Structure formats: C-alpha cells, structure tokens
Chain A
Amino acid sequence: MNKKKWNLAPYLLILPSFIYLAVFFAWPMVRSLQLAFVRDSQILPVLAEADPDADVVGRLEMQTQVAVVDRTRLDEVLPNGRTRPVYWFKIVGETEGGEQIEGWTHQKNVFIESRTTSETARVTSGEGAKEWTLDYVERMINDYRFTNALKTTLILIVLILPIQFVLAIVMALVLQAQLRGSTIFLYIYAIPLGISDLAAGLVWVSIFTQRGFLNTFLQQIGIINEPFIYLSADHQNWMIVAIVLAEVWRATSIVMVIVVSGLQAIPREYLEAGELFGASLWQRLRHIILPLLKPSLQVALILRTILAFQVFAVVVAITGGRVLTVLAYETYRWYDPGDSGFNNPNMAAAYAGFIMLISLAFAVFYLRTVRTQEEAARE
C-alpha cells in the first residue's frame, strides 16, 4: 500500500471547527459588513390589473405623490370568520425617469387619507430593492458624535494600555517572586475578572457620584466641605479618570494572566546566568525578561487593544453615553430600536465595520513592530 496516500483524517478533524467558524463568524461578519454598504430601499411595482399576479406596468419610488383615478373593493374572508374590505387603487404617477404610468396597487402600498373618497395618495411600501451605497459610511463620518466617539476611544486606549501593562508586569513579577502568600495575591488580582463590565462601571459610579464613597470619605477626613461633582459635563476629565480607573481595575488581570504564563515559559537558566554575571534586577528585567516576554506581550497588546475598541458598558455606566461616547456605544445606539436608539442597523453596521477595520489595523501594526527575536532573525 502506498504510504504517501493523501490522508483524509486530519481534514475531517478540522472540518467541524471550520464549519463552525464559517457559519458563526465568517458568514455573519460578511452579512453585517454588507449591511453597511447596501441600501434596503423599496420600489413599488404598479400592476396592470387589480390582481397580485398581473403584469408590472412600471415602478414608482417611495414617497411619490400619485393621483387615484379608480378603486375597487374586494371582501377578503379571513380564517377567523370575519370579512375584511381590501381596496385596490388605480394610480397615476411619475417614475424617476419622468415617465407617467397608470396602473393598480394594493392598499398596503400607499398612504391614503380615505380609502373610499380620497383622490391622491402617497407611495409608502413596495418590494425590496437593494443597491450599493456609500451613504451610510459618509453619514457616519460626518456624524456629530463620530469624532467625539473616536477621540474618546483613542484617548482611553492611550491612557489605559500603558498603565495596564506596567501594572500587569509588576503584578506578574510579584507572583513569580514566590513570596509567602503570593497565591492570595493571585486570588485578589483575579477577582475583577469575574465581574461584568457593567457591574464594574456601576461600582465606580457609586464611588464617584455626588453622594458617593469618594466624596463621603473626603468630607469625613476634612479635605473638602462640599461634595464635589465629578461626573458632569463641566468635568469631562474627571469622567475620563473614572473610566480609566474602572477599566484598569477591571481588565488588568487578563493581561497579568497572559504575562504570568509568558514568565513561566522563560527558562530559569537565563536568569541564573544573568545573576551569575552580576546583572542587577533592572538589567535582568530589561535584557532578559522583557525580550523573552515579547510574544506574550504581543498577544496581550492585541487582545487588550481590540477589547479597548469595544469598551462600552463601563463608559455608559459612568457618563450616561451622552457627553462622552465611544465607538461601541454609537454602534449600539444606532442599532437600538428602543426610545434612546435610532433603529438603523445599516449605520450600526458601518460603525461595527469601522471598529473592525481599526482593530485590524492595530493588530497588524503590533504584529509588525513588536517582533519576536526569531521573526527578526528570519529576515
């Protein structure tokens, strides 16, 4: 038997995860990106007769004013036993090309003041027509809150990431030093990992709010007399501070976990050799630990940056999402069909696509700048 025969088994083993990725990641991603570039407009096909299967005589745009020249009433018998009068209207209107067309349409496609007497109507629905458009992207970029959201998101990344990385490395080194009771540190560090970001945001709101812990504390030790209002439109810097604190508190441990695993992969021999040659702690850190940590730092950087572009609940909890806003919140706001949203999935998709693009750009940037030694040596 030929041993070099193509082996199907590994591909079969990969297949489920491939299908999983394709169905649950690639396909929805493509579809949502498509939303950002396709307008789901409608156009009304006007029919030759008062019958859904009749020939189409022409198509009218939405909101076209039409004259109603004739009407016919059908009594539709419903499964519940009632009859429902359904009107068909013979309408005359002008197509986009300026052509006059005359034909029939069902009552559900037009707005008409009175179905029995009105002589004009307005086209309000029809069949779906898709067209490619850059309108949503343009509208996003010109949106009043877009620059605000982008700016805040970037400021947060610039402020949060360095603090988190320094802290995470220090925390990891403390754990690595195997001090007495260092496992307790691990547990303490890990607590925020188990808390949802919204809960974390609310915790910090209760610290910074007017009658919150911080003001009460400062008042009690006599530093301030009146409660200071941190979270207001006039003190946007304080809001940034609160968000940075909340995010650092909440998400540093994830970086730490990655750094710890990276530290454990560093062979002890290197450090012992360094010690033998009289390298100080700082020199060992600078010349042995950090270079060898690069791969894990790279992973952590990419992960944290992508997560930072998605920061959402903490910001909404602390700022209310009005004065300061971030990209992920804008995405949600456009999508939200509720009272505070705009119910516009296309714009939401444009924002989501933008977040993906900018995250990708950062990931590529990190991959190219923070290189490991092997990669650099390969060139």
Chain B
Amino acid sequence: MFRTKFRSIVILVLVAMLTGVLGVSAQDGSVTFMSTQFNIVEESDKIRTILADFGEVEFVPSEEGPMIDLLRAEAETGEGSVDLIGALHGTFPVLQNEDVLFDLSDLLAQLEENYELPESFVELGKLGTADYQYYIPWMQATYIMAAHVSALEYLPEGADINALTWEQFAEWAKNIYDGTGEAQLGLPVAGLFHRFLEGYLYPSFTGGMVTGFKSPEAVAMWEWFRDELWPYVHPQSVTSYEFMQEPLLAGEVILAFDHTARLINAFNDKPDEFVGFPAPTGPAGLGFMPVVVGLGVPYTSADPDGAEALIDFLLQPETQGRVLQDLAFFPVVGGVDTTDLPEGVAIEAAAVEAQAASPDALPALLPVGLGDRGGEINEIYRNAFSRIVLNGEDIQTVLDDEGAALQSLLDETGAPCWPPDAPSEGACQLQ
C-alpha cells in the first residue's frame, strides 16, 4: 500500500519536473524572461511576485554559460523559446559576437521619452558600436565600504567618512590595529577582490585600469598597498572571506570592502551597527566600478512585442523601486521613490549615491571586448597581488611580467581601451 503510494508520488514529481522543464518552450501567450540574475530560489520568488503585476511572465533563472549556449542553438534553428534576457554587461559581448540580439535603438528612443536613463549606461549597451543598442540598462549595483560603528572612534582626526583618501583609509586601518591589537580590515580576497584592484585602486592611483598597469604610479600604489595597508588587513581575507557580510556580522572584521549584494545582510540584520560609505579617493580620483545589468531581446524571440512591453514595465520607476526594496539592486532610471526603503537598503543607497556623485568620480567599467576571455584579465591583477604582496617579489619585475601577459591578452582579443582609460585605435596598449 505504502509502496504504490510512494511510487505514484515519485511519478507525479517526475511528471511535474518534466512538464516544468518543457513549460519553458510550450507556454503560450506569455513572455519568457531568462535571467542570469536572481537565480537563487528566494530571489527568483521575489522577482516573480514583481513580474506578476505585468501579466503572464515565465521567469527562467539561468547560469551564464547555459544561457549563451541556448541562445546560440536557437539562433541556429531560427526559432526560439526565450523572449527576453537579463544579464550582466559582461555577458553581452559574447552575444554580440554571436549576432543573436535585436538592435533596440528604436525601443530606446521610445523609452527615453518617458524615463531618464544615464547616458553612460546607454552607451555601454552599444558595446562599442555607434548605433546598435544590444541591451537596455535594467539595474545596477556597485562595490562600497562598510564599517561597524565601533570602528568610527579610530577614524583619523579631521577625516570625513564620506570623503576619505586612501592614505586616510590606511591610517584608519592602522589605528584600528594599534587600538584593538587585531587587523580588522577585511577584503574579499577569496571573493571578488579583483574588482578592488581593477576598479578601485588602479583608477584611483593611475587614472586608468589598463594603460597604467606598470607605470611609476602603479609601482607607488603597490608599495603603498603592501606596506601601508596590507599589514592591517585581516589575515583570513586571503583564505576565507568571500562575502564580507559574514565576517562583519561575526565581528571578525569591523571595516570592509565588497559588492553591495554581498554586504546587504550586514546592513539589513543590524542597521544600527553598520555604516556604509563611498570608496576613498586617490591621487587620480575616486575610482569605482558600477555593475550594470542589461535587458536584450534575441531575434529568435517568439514574442518580441511582449518582450518590449516587459522592458518598459521593468524600467518603470515603481518596478525599479520594488526591485531595490526587495532585491537590493539599484535603479537606473530617475524618479524612484526611495523614502520608504528597508533600513539596510537605505544605508547602501546613500553610500552608492555619494560614491557616484563625488566630484572626483572615475567610473571604471568592466572589461569590454575580451569576449569569453574576460576571466583571464582578473587573474592577471590577482597574480600581481599574490606575487607582490603575499610573496614579496620585486614590484617592477612582477608588473613587467604580468603586464606582458595583459598586453598579449589585449592583442589577441583586439580589445580597444575602455573607460576610464582613454579610447584607443585598435587593441589597447600599455604605457
């Protein structure tokens, strides 16, 4: 009796799973929205709730690789199941190379009549072309600083937490070390630390991400990082820290740098104990890295009109506000109501805004034009860090070595310079 019951349950579950899978392609009259963002179950549920207000939307969370493979395959057959894709900026150059996306220029013109979209993000969506809109910006995130309130008493005299210089930041970390006897600045070396080097240190000290890789300014920067900052960085940064919210909440560190989505739990769980603030400024400006998520329409879409209507819905300030509130991704359109945010999100929103609005702001974009070799550039920066800071190798030698690897990567992919570096004719060249 129990056995047959058990077996029928198994069959039911299997059928449900199979139809669920098939449902992606068999649904009629609904828009299929595949996204590399929100692919954690709770996040998927939240975005589905938001999308329910639009109408019939099949939200399909996916990893980047499978999504690219699917779109590639659908382009080959000419007919597709996916109507709209949502992905990080870095995913789009691969899709550009495959030529699977509609030009959304006309749609953009319509949208810009109603919504205020930042010019820099719209430009990013063209992926280096003059008139082909591969994606419409959907939402953004970035990396900011977080501190426990107990760290504030060690702030160097006269320093403004919202306008720190890297020198003052290092001094702060040193004061904490001197005062508490522990190195309590945490960097996510086991996580997205390469963005700290590419988007924050390099632009702040050299004014660019790539061209000044082995410049004298870079040498000075590494010397400063190795001698003035690293001694006060928590030693477990290298081995264990992937999401800084955890060591912050555990009290292992009281000062940290990370992606907003990887700090949000600290701010949400204990909004009274943590403060968020913009990244410090260096001699060349305040380098920071915006993370842009875009929306694109594959030309194999069965329902391009539905996809365009859904893009419009997603850009509405109300929708953007709900995404900010529930999912802590920041809006790209103006006019979003931010008065009633959860405390943690409000803390981040203030820091993000202060960072972008700084007069010295130097937005550093994710590597463009490296195609599917985007991961390798990260490792070049990480290698430089490991060799200089952890192994104590000679700075200029390491930068020359790794700079050669960087140059050959740029040459092989033909990637032109991207902001904040000045644009180049042909492949980007190191100084």
Residues of chain A having any CB pair with chain B under 8 Å: 62-63, 65, 78-80, 82, 84-85, 107-108, 111-118, 122, 124-125, 144-145, 205, 209-211, 226, 229, 231-235, 239, 318-323, 336-344
Given contacts A79-B79, A80-B301, contact A232 B235 (CB under 8 A): yes
Q: Which residues of B contact A320 (CB under 8 A)?
A: 189-190, 238-240, 242
A80 to B132, CA, bound (A): 20
Which residues from chain B sit less than 8 Å from chain A, CB to CB?
Answer: 63-65, 78-79, 96-99, 102-103, 128-132, 181-182, 189-190, 192, 235-236, 238-240, 242, 250, 252, 299-304, 372-376, 378-379, 382-383, 386-387, 390, 412-414, 426-427
Bound CA span A361–B426, Å: 47
Per a CB cutoff under 8 Å, which of A108, A115, A234 touches B132? A115
A267 shortest CB reach to chain B, Å: 46
A84 to B75, CA, bound (A): 13
Say how far B76's CB is from chain A's closest CB, in angstroms.
12
Partner of B414, one of A122, A145, A336, A341: A122
Q: Which residue of A lies closest to B79 (CB)?
A: A79
SS of A interface (majority): loop
Judged by DSSP, the binding face of B is loop
**A contact residues around B128 at 8 Å (CB):** 111, 113
User: Given known contacts A107-B99, A210-B236, is B78 in contact with A79 (CB within 8 Å)?
Assistant: yes
Q: Is the CB of B412 within 8 A of A319?
A: no
The contact sample of 12 A-B pairs, CB cut-off 8 A, is A78-B300, A80-B303, A111-B129, A113-B129, A144-B383, A209-B240, A226-B181, A318-B239, A323-B238, A337-B65, A339-B378, A343-B374
Q: How far is the CB of B248 from chain A (nearest CB, A)?
A: 13
Q: List, in ascending order, chain A residues with CB within 8 A of B235's CB.
A: 229, 231-235
Contact A63 B412, CB 8 Å, known A84-B299, A113-B130, A322-B386? yes
Distance in Å: Cβ of A18 to nearest Cβ of chain B:
32
Residues in B with CB closer than 8 Å to A115 are 129, 131-132
Q: Are A322 and B238 in contact (CB under 8 A)?
A: yes
Kindly list 4 other residue pairs between chains A and B, CB separation below 8 angstroms, not including A63-B413, A114-B131, A340-B378. A80-B304, A82-B102, A232-B236, A341-B375
- CB-CB under 8 A from A336, the residues of chain B are 375
Q: Which residues of B contact A339 (CB under 8 A)?
A: 192, 375, 378
Determine how close the nearest CB of chain A comes to the CB of B91; give it in whole angstroms: 11
B236 contacts A229, CB within 8 Å? yes
Among B130, B181, B304, B386, which residue has its beta carbon within 8 angstroms of that of A118?
B130
Q: Contacts of A344 on B, CB cut-off 8 Å?
A: 373, 375-376
- A residues near B192, Cβ cutoff 8 Å: 339
Contact of A209 among B102, B103, B129, B236 (CB under 8 A): B236
Q: In the bound complex, what is the Cα–Cα distance between A321 and B300 (angstroms)?
A: 41
Whole-angstrom distance between the Cβ of A351 and the nearest chain B Cβ: 14
Of the candidates A84, A117, A343, the one whose C-beta lies within 8 Å of that of B375 is A343
Indicate if the CB atoms of B131 and A211 lie closer than 8 Å: no
Residues of the B chain whose Cβ atoms lie less than 8 Å from the Cβ of A145: 383
Given the contacts A209-B236, A229-B236, A342-B379, A322 and B130 also touching, CB distance less than 8 Å: no
Please judge, given known A-B contacts A144-B383, A339-B192, A344-B373, whether A125 and B239 are in contact too, CB under 8 Å: no
Name the residue of chain B whose CB is nearest to the CB of A232.
B235
A116 surroundings in chain B (CB, below 8 A): 131
Q: CA separation between A65 and B427, bound complex, in Å? A: 11
Q: Tell me, in angstroms, the Cα distance from A80 to B96 when the chains sit together.
A: 20
Query: What is the distance, in angstroms, from A84's C-beta to the closest C-beta of chain B?
Result: 5
Please, which residues of chain A bring their CB within 8 A of the CB of B374?
343
The residues of A that contact B372 with a CB separation of less than 8 Å are 337, 343
Chain A residue nearest in CB terms to B230: A233
Closest-CB distance, B148 to chain A (whole angstroms): 15
